[in-house]
Amino acid sequence: MWLWLGWASDWDGGHAQLLNHLVRSGPERIVGARAGRLGAHWIHGLGRRERSVHLPMPYSAGHLLVGPNGSGKTRLFDPLVTQAMLRGEALGIIDPKGDQDLKDAAERGGS
């Protein structure tokens, strides 16, 4: 059994250089970028072709989500919560920051 984590594409040094150039040119020049919003949905357009990313279920045992503030941990919980609910698993969510979107997704049975 697998967990679906989202969409991604392979990156190389050229992609990182393009990203650096875009960010240095100013967020207001990037189509769809909004000041004060976390995340950068436009980053998906830098890769050539996205593919579905999966994680084997046994790999999710223990500490799975680690990262700094703003790295997308809570957004990753949306599909994980949905998949756990669809499998009929019991969930306990502790969210010290009280993310309303995550709460709404959990209450409606996932996103």
Question: Percentage of the chain with pLDDT > 90?
Answer: 0
On the question of pLDDT at 34 being above 70, the answer is no
On the question of pLDDT at 54 being above 80, the answer is yes
Mean pLDDT computed over every residue of the chain? 77
pTM for the whole structure: 0.55
Confidence of residue 66 (pLDDT cuts 50, 70, 90): low
Secondary element (H or E) of residue 93: none
Confidence of residue 29 (pLDDT cuts 50, 70, 90): low
Residue 38 neighbours by CB under 8 Å, 6+ apart: 70
User: What is the model's pLDDT at position 5?
Assistant: 83
Domain ranges of the chain: 1-57, 65-111
Q: Buried b / exposed e across 11-48, counting CB within 10 Å, b at 16+?
A: eeeeeeeeeeebeeeeeeeeeeeeeeeeebeeeeeeee
Residue written as tokens 């967990």?
3
